[in-house]
Structure 1
């Protein structure tokens, strides 16, 4: 019989965490009996995921919320759903749980009694430790992590950050996220028709930097805008294309609009979300990331697959990809550092071909099947 796997996350779609979940499901859906569980139900799930995967959600469904008795007995209603849901999980007799995220998602996973449990950690605790309030103390979080067979860190920096901040739970391992190279290369070939500068004669086209990421504070886009302002004032012919949608929470989108208005920057263009970001990366002269913190950025590895030279701020995982600026330019995490790095590559056009060749060498470490197989070994663990 196929092993029964419960893959748990807060969201079905979003950023790199959700991309990892998506790739694992597509790699395994014929081999294993997979159920994906998210906190909130996403009506578009089966538009993207295979039909032979089961999909459930932890949150109280709409029919419960719309029930007239909810207004009178809301607590009882929620508790009833939670109890029946827990019973459903028990009856399913899953063999393995993969909890795809740290923090609140890991905390929620503690209550499920499944023989073999793993959880992922994507956050650099040294630069962004946010989860202490969930557990009440660092010690409690460390104890929670010990309830899993392993905590899978997506880079060596992530592992170090957990140890530095909350102490070593004793079960940390590092597994790099798989990159579906064939899919990236295929989608990169699609034409880009919505970037006006591409219609200009070749000699008049600006130097094009492309960034991909959701509109949130983590991505440091206000720093990128400030760097662009200085470069515009010096008369450089360039543009920055930012691909990514705004999040339904927070005020980062408004901050970005305010910064654009205050600085008068026109070179930094936020084009919103796109189903296929790879075709935009493929037309870049440089891939750029201004992030304040990362785990081990998936999209930078995807840019490497496309042979695009890159400028990345010095977040966790970046030096595992670029070395000490050996395979790409590692930038300080501030506006001046970003400005100087962009200015440097525009002043010296030979750096483009140099770093293009270097990233073509480096991309050999980025694999799909090998990384999938490494994670699959966890599922095949007999827990002996």
Structure 2
């Protein structure tokens, strides 16, 4: 029986974490002894792990990593971890050099700076594994590379490598040493190989796994919109972070309101920008038109009940939220960026637009006024997904 270790940064309710849960189901206990280490010891999806997965964390908090209270817990842990094993001092010159490089590019990425420190202050794992798999960029990749003993090491990339702020210097070229590198889409692979061309032969596309039948089943459960609104409903699902460009969506909703379009835009998700976004919503007089619903354990009734799903983001790897909207036959509008354009064929199974309030507003207006078009797009979206992957485990054969 092979011993397999997965490492992930946190286990919050985001797309990559959901995809990990589905992948773990493939590592059946009759063939694998599967362990999981969550680098930051936190995340609410811990209760959804398959029963046979052994969690290695000595201490763990099931608080959300995106809610206000959960963020406070996470930040306290980060502060504590700076000094465990002298991690911040061991990486002092690395941090100074990284900050200097980022400043020259006029963009500082605090999370990217801290991942090396969080990796070096992680729990010591003495076990030797047949396969160790880092399921995210940054901390988990560094931890598996530097601190895990395994015959073979794999890693996953879920974002546009360059756009997200990663560099070879920041990674200390750790990807050169991995046996296999999996990217969730072709565009993610192209972005990564532009920086690491030496890794071409060992890099493969591994699409996110989703349980289509379970999504459909959960969409029929009680839940969804609770207000008595009788106009058009727009839905977006995603963390309240800069990547998701919600300020553009809010401005687009203001334009729709000014043009007399009767619609409400709902957002499912939590994140550090909640207060800032709510302030903008209130300032523009959109308290009834742009509604931050927070996170929910079952978002699928909302997908099934909305008139239009909008995913106007700056960049993606491969969006689980878009895949979920496709499963449930939503009419979909996405911004024309990496990741999104690989999932939606413009005018065929969804629509693409540039990431400006004017462009988003114009496309929403056209779609909301053309119910027939929306139904056609949703129908094509619902049948475009690939059949469930049955040969997943071939990727981990060495």
Q: Same fold (TM over 0.5)?
A: yes
Compute the RMSD of aligned alpha carbons.
Answer: 2.8
Aligned ranges for residues 144-155 of structure 1 at < 5 Å? 144-155=174-185
**Native 8 Å contact 1:39 1:58 kept in 2:** no
Q: Is 1:347 aligned to 2:366, yes or no? A: no
2:343 maps to which residue?
321
Q: Secondary structure at the match of 2:142?
A: helix
How far, CA to CA, are the matches of 1:167 and 1:210 in structure 2?
A: 39
After TM superposition, the score normalised by the length of structure 2 is: 0.79
Aligned equivalents of 1:84 and 1:101: distance in 2?
15
Question: Deviation at 1:258?
Answer: 2.1
* Structure-1 residue corresponding to 2:166: 131
CA displacement at 1:45 relative to structure 2: 5.9
Instruction: Report the Cα distance in structure 2 between the residues aligned to 1:288 and 1:272, rounded to whole angstroms.
Output: 17
2:7 aligned partner = 8
Quote the Cα distance in structure 2 between the aligned partners of 1:212 and 1:84.
31
Partner of residue 279, structure 2: 258
**Corresponding residue of 1:66:** none
Partner of 1:164: 194
Partner of 2:218: 187
Residues 367-382 of structure 1 correspond to what in structure 2 (within 5 A)? 367-370=387-390, 373-374=391-392, 376-379=393-396, 381-382=397-398
Mapped to 2, the partners of 1:60 and 1:358 lie a distance apart of 43
SS at 2:26's partner residue? helix
Other structure's SS at 2:4 match: strand
Q: Which residue of 1 aligns with 2:314?
A: 292
Structure 1 residues 76 and 157: alpha-carbon distance in aligned structure 2, compared to 1, 3 A threshold: closer
Residue number in structure 2 paired with 1:213? 238
Q: Look up the SS of the partner of 2:177 in the other structure.
A: coil
Q: Does 1:276 align with 2:276?
A: no
Segments of structure 1 that go 5 or more residues without pairing to the other structure are 62-69
Match for 2:153 among 117, 121, 127?
117
Give 3-state SS (helix, strand or coil) of 2:34's partner.
Answer: strand
- Which residue does the alignment assign to 2:26? 27
1:174 counterpart = 2:205: yes
Match for residue 57 of structure 1?
57
Confirm whether residue 48 of structure 1 aligns to residue 48 of structure 2.
yes
Q: Which residue of 1 aligns with 2:68?
A: none
Residue among 325, 338, 354 paired with 1:332: 354
Please give the alpha-carbon distance, in whole angstroms, between the structure 1 residues aligned to 2:307 and 2:121: 54
Total equivalences in the alignment: 344
Deviates more, 1:117-126 or 1:273-282: 117-126
1:215 Cα deviation after fit: 1.0
* TM-aligned CA distance change 1:75 to 1:121, over 3 Å: closer
* CA–CA distance in structure 2, aligned partners of residues 77 and 309 of structure 1: 48
Deviation at 1:83, TM superposition (A): 10
Distance 1:224 1:25, change over 3 A: same
Q: CA deviation at 1:85?
A: 5.0
Structure 2 Cα separation of the partners of residues 74 and 269 of structure 1: 41
For residues 54 and 151 of structure 1, what CA distance do their matches in structure 2 show? Answer: 24
1:27 is paired with a residue whose SS is coil
Rounded Cα–Cα distance in structure 2 between residues aligned with 1:209 and 1:157? 27
Of residues 236, 239, 242, the one that matches 2:267 is 242
Please give the alpha-carbon distance, in whole angstroms, between the structure 1 residues aligned to 2:58 and 2:197.
30
Provide the C-alpha distance between the structure 2 equivalents of 1:169 and 1:77, rounded to a whole number of angstroms.
29
* 2-structure distance, mates of 1:84, 1:294: 28
TM-score scaled by structure 1? Answer: 0.82
From the CA coordinates, give the structure whose radius of gyration is larger.
1
Distance 2:84 2:257 in 1: 56
> Residues 240 and 267 of structure 1 are in contact (CA less than 8 Å); yes or no, is this contact kept in structure 2?
yes
User: Matched residues in 2 for 1:124 and 1:43: separation?
Assistant: 24
Asked if the contact 2:315–2:339 (Cα under 8 Å) also holds between the matched residues in 1, the reply is no
Deviates more, 1:20-29 or 1:339-348: 20-29
Aligned partners of 1:222, 1:177: CA distance in 2, in Å? 28
